[in-house]
Chain A
Amino acid sequence: MEIAAIQTRGLTRLFGELTAVDAVTFSVAQGQFFGFLGPNGAGKSTTIKMLTGLLEPSAGTVEILGKAFTAASLDLKRQIGVVPEGMALFGRLTAPEYLRFVGRMYGLDRETTNQRTDELLDFMQLSDETRKLITDFSHGMQKKLALAAAVIHGPKVLFLDEPFEGVDAIAAGMLKSMLQRMISRGATIFLTTHVLEIVERLCSHVAIISQGRLVANGSIEELRAGVASSLPGSEASQRLTLEEIFLSIVGAVGQDAAQELSWLA
């Protein structure tokens, strides 16, 4: 039996009386492009923080590449790359300085770090901005840099929290092709995003979290079949988009927003 890249069992996180993530159990196979979806406040970022060691679970376990993962699992941390919610950038460094810093923090030698820094800056089209401080970067540039930093050490598992937010169409296309290349080379990617078209195009498997609970998990085809079986008209349901599947699962279908906010022009 193949070892899962990511495996959670009963992952739970409480904030006081609020249960942000409630006994979430799922598995991501190695080499899978996994989309983790949910409405705002559903618990996506909390889950990704627990998976990457930024937040301690109240209950449950996380395994990465078959080994129990905690904040102190330094060897496992070398195997993962993360673009967290706040991007983890140091505003007063330049992009090459930051990438060199990250490379060395992940244990790369100086030569490899420098070489990869140059390659990544070229790839991310940031090589003309090497003297600019990160604080002066646009949001999209910061996202690209955060992604470059997440992959500089060649992680086997990549966690991306909203990586395409604020990134222009050209850069987004470039990033997508990079991520697909990583998948073809055996890496595992765990992605959260609100852009469902991207998930539909890139991800082979999807999990949906709502109000802290995992409400769906499987391949997109499996989810489509599941939703289709509950809808009348099998022919139309075969063409369901991920957005329709998502809305159907999280229970937002049928809400008539037009009748609200009548004062809006």
Chain B
Amino acid sequence: MAGIESRADLRWGPFGSMARAQYAALASMRWSMFRNSQRTTRGAMELGARTVAFAFYFLFGLALGAGFGGGTYAIAASGKWELLSGLFWALFVMWQVVPVTLASFQEHFDMGGLLRFPIGFGTFFLLHLIFGLVDASTMMGGLCCVGIWVGMMFARPDLFASTAVVVAIFAAFNILLVRAIAAWMDRWLAQRRTREIVGALFFVGLLFLQLLNPAYWSSQKHPHMSSRTRAEGLRWLNKANSVQHWLPPGLAALDLQRSAAARPLAAMEAASLLGIYVLGVGGVLGMRLRGEYHGENFGDAPARRRAERRTRSWLLDGSGPMAAVLEKEARVLTRAMPLIYALAAPLLMVFLLSGLFANRGGGQGSISSFSLMVALAYALVGFTQLFYNNLGPEGPGIQLLFLSPTPMRTVMMAKNLFHMLLFSVDAVLVCFLASLRIGGWPAPAAIAATFAWLLFALPVHLAAGNLFSLNMPYRMNLGRITRQRGSQVSALLSMLIQLGVLGIGVGILVVCAYFHRLWLAVPVFLVLAAGAFIAWMRVLNSIDGIAARRRETLLATLVRTD
């Protein structure tokens, strides 16, 4: 092969001439893809939506960064260095949680397609880090790091260099950890058995956390027990404090504390330990990426016990296309980690956030009147992909839906019914979680109003979701949780609709609560629900026409394999 021989001068490795040429080719390819995407209206809309989303992330990150900066300044200026680790822990939690909450709304580049090229592992690893580096968590985390650095600069200019180094190492640790967690989650949850175990652990974890809530409230009711519990808690806190010094956020704080105390060697020791953590997390990520690099397929199913053949009788195993679609949706959902994850993640967030409403009283007009509505609205976020991109999981199977003699209206109706059923289950769980966390139920009128609002909210989302699914579809990779290719326009608009629906609900509740007529919200929501239901039916009736017009775009978007 004369051509290859003539390029024997090429040096391999992540920074070799070959790799540099590949980086350039990839950058050029990404630029071409970006430029070509602007040829269509949808591409331009995507760019607009992405700009808006990133402006939002940036501003949010800037505000957070200012907060972290202020906090650092206050701590350093007052010399209360023991509080600094709290700041780093907060940053650590934020950095790791943001990708969880925004997983559905971020675009990722699938590196698997590059494996056909002669790319070394180092290059593959580096590319994995570089691509998608400008995501929400890195941007916000990075701005917070800058905030800490600036805050320290103002309080202790002499720590300018050491703060920069520590903050940079801490940022590297967080970036690698986010990637490592995502990569390993994808791998583990690709297997059915692991999915079941993780699912069970998740729910056991939630139940366990529930126990903390009654325990806390009972301690509040008995002050003498509370002081004992407090003492016990303090003892545990001290123990935890001695442990956290050995963990990355604690080490970062410790390093700065030691630098401030003019103990450079001790500071270097903490920084070195932090560096070891970085290498460790990098190694963990590398192990996973090596598997991918060697061509591992996330679609790999677990080993089967035996090839058996049986016809399971299903609850939905009736004849007819409607039952067929319902059954298919149920089966696909149980094997589609991105969807299960999207449904489960809000439950966790509801658990965490509903604590904000805790012990605020249950009377009319109290904040807990809105608690269920807000919790349910958050649970609806988990259904964004199901509602607003309900054809996305079909992939090439979308062709069958067009080839078969079943009208698309029937297919969409079945999907909507399935999603409603699923949401009902989720809503019961959410209400259960929220009530346990809040420590009681809101007033009956608030509960009735919330459910009346739900009767309004669901048809709105289903109607809008059907339209979005046909007009702005995007293909979902059901073998992965992270690194999905989404649509920023769809995500942004669907979030706006969700906020609008919640805003209407809260607005009406606020007005009714202001006049001490909370029950009045029920008929208002029911009237809105009737309107929404009619709109949903009208959308369903127009589905076949829209599907016929959008057929080619749907097929081109969902069938493609790139």
Q: Which of A35-43, A128-136, A176-184 contacts B (4 or more CB under 8 A)?
A: A128-136
Q: Which residues of B contact A113 (CB under 8 A)?
A: 319
Contact between chains at B320 and A149 (CB < 8 Å): no
Contact between chains at A104 and B320 (CB < 8 Å): yes
Contact between chains at A110 and B319 (CB < 8 Å): yes
Contact between chains at B301 and A130 (CB < 8 Å): no
- A65 CB-CB contact with B under 8 Å: no
**Complex Cα spacing A72 to B407, Å:** 8
Given the known interface contacts A75-B405, A130-B308, the answer about A93 and B319 at a Cβ–Cβ threshold of 8 Å is: no
Closest to A114 in B: B311
Given the known interface contacts A102-B404, A106-B404, A135-B479, the answer about A88 and B300 at a Cβ–Cβ threshold of 8 Å is: no
Closest to B323 in A: A104
Given the known interface contacts A102-B404, A105-B400, A105-B404, the answer about A128 and B555 at a Cβ–Cβ threshold of 8 Å is: no
- A244 CB-CB contact with B under 8 Å: no
- A56 CB-CB contact with B under 8 Å: yes
- A68 CB-CB contact with B under 8 Å: no
8 A Cβ contacts from A79-115 to B: 80, 82, 84-93, 96-97, 100-102, 104-110, 113-114
- A194 CB-CB contact with B under 8 Å: no
Given the known interface contacts A87-B396, A106-B405, A263-B3, the answer about A92 and B318 at a Cβ–Cβ threshold of 8 Å is: no
Contact between chains at A54 and B405 (CB < 8 Å): no
Contact between chains at B299 and A86 (CB < 8 Å): no
Contact between chains at B301 and A110 (CB < 8 Å): no
Closest to A71 in B: B548
> How close is A96's CB to chain B, nearest CB, in angstroms?
7
Contact string against A for B residues 289-327, beta-carbon threshold 8 Å, 1 for contact and 0 otherwise: 000000000011100100111010000011111011101
- B328 CB-CB contact with A under 8 Å: yes
Contact between chains at B400 and A88 (CB < 8 Å): yes
8 A Cβ contacts from B320-338 to A: 320-321, 323-325, 327-328, 331-332, 335-336
Contact between chains at A130 and B309 (CB < 8 Å): yes
**Complex Cα spacing A97 to B309, Å:** 12
> How close is A252's CB to chain B, nearest CB, in angstroms?
27
Contact between chains at B396 and A86 (CB < 8 Å): yes
**Complex Cα spacing A129 to B307, Å:** 6
**Complex Cα spacing A185 to B1, Å:** 54
Q: Which residues of B contact A78 (CB under 8 A)?
A: 405
**Complex Cα spacing A86 to B432, Å:** 44
- A52 CB-CB contact with B under 8 Å: yes
**Complex Cα spacing A130 to B306, Å:** 10
Q: Which residues of A contact B328 (CB under 8 A)?
A: 90, 93, 97, 101
Contact between chains at A105 and B321 (CB < 8 Å): yes
**Residue from B323, B324, B407, B555 in contact with A54 in the complex, judged by beta carbons closer than 8 Å:** B555
Contact between chains at A92 and B324 (CB < 8 Å): no
Contact between chains at B324 and A101 (CB < 8 Å): yes
Q: Which residues of B contact A19 (CB under 8 A)?
A: none
Query: Which residue, B2, B323, B399, has most C-beta atoms of chain A within 10 A?
Result: B399
8 A Cβ contacts from A134-160 to B: 135-136, 149
- B478 CB-CB contact with A under 8 Å: yes
**Complex Cα spacing A72 to B404, Å:** 10
- A127 CB-CB contact with B under 8 Å: yes
Contact between chains at B2 and A86 (CB < 8 Å): no
Closest to B402 in A: A54
Total CB contacts across the A-B interface at under 8 A: 126
**Complex Cα spacing A45 to B308, Å:** 38
- A265 CB-CB contact with B under 8 Å: yes
> How close is A57's CB to chain B, nearest CB, in angstroms?
12
Contact between chains at B317 and A110 (CB < 8 Å): yes
Range for the number of chain A residues in contact with chain B: 35 or more
> How close is A114's CB to chain B, nearest CB, in angstroms?
6
- B406 CB-CB contact with A under 8 Å: yes
8 A Cβ contacts from B1-49 to A: 1-3
Contact string against A for B residues 521-562, beta-carbon threshold 8 Å, 1 for contact and 0 otherwise: 000000000000000000000001000100110010001010
- B141 CB-CB contact with A under 8 Å: no
Q: Which residues of A contact B555 (CB under 8 A)?
A: 54-55
Contact between chains at B301 and A77 (CB < 8 Å): no
- A10 CB-CB contact with B under 8 Å: no
Query: Which residue, B394, B400, B544, B552, has most C-beta atoms of chain A within 10 A?
Result: B400
- B505 CB-CB contact with A under 8 Å: no
> How close is A141's CB to chain B, nearest CB, in angstroms?
13
- A74 CB-CB contact with B under 8 Å: yes
**Complex Cα spacing A167 to B521, Å:** 63
**Residue from B1, B335, B396, B407 in contact with A265 in the complex, judged by beta carbons closer than 8 Å:** B1
> How close is B481's CB to chain A, nearest CB, in angstroms?
14
> How close is B408's CB to chain A, nearest CB, in angstroms?
10
**Complex Cα spacing A78 to B403, Å:** 9
Closest to B306 in A: A131
> How close is B555's CB to chain A, nearest CB, in angstroms?
6
**Complex Cα spacing A151 to B331, Å:** 23
Contact between chains at A91 and B299 (CB < 8 Å): yes
Contact between chains at B307 and A130 (CB < 8 Å): yes
**Residue from B309, B320, B335, B407 in contact with A92 in the complex, judged by beta carbons closer than 8 Å:** B335
Contact between chains at A263 and B2 (CB < 8 Å): yes
- B397 CB-CB contact with A under 8 Å: yes
Contact between chains at B394 and A90 (CB < 8 Å): yes
Q: Closest 10 interchain pairs by CB?
A: A104-B324, A88-B399, A86-B396, A77-B405, A90-B397, A88-B400, A105-B404, A74-B405, A135-B299, A86-B559
User: Which residues of A line the B interface, CB within 8 A?
Assistant: 52-56, 71-72, 74-75, 77-78, 80, 82, 84-93, 96-97, 100-102, 104-110, 113-114, 127-133, 135-136, 149, 263, 265
New A-B pairs, 15, CB < 8 Å, besides A56-B552, A74-B406: A86-B399, A86-B561, A90-B395, A91-B397, A93-B328, A104-B324, A105-B404, A105-B406, A106-B404, A106-B405, A110-B319, A130-B307, A133-B299, A133-B335, A136-B300
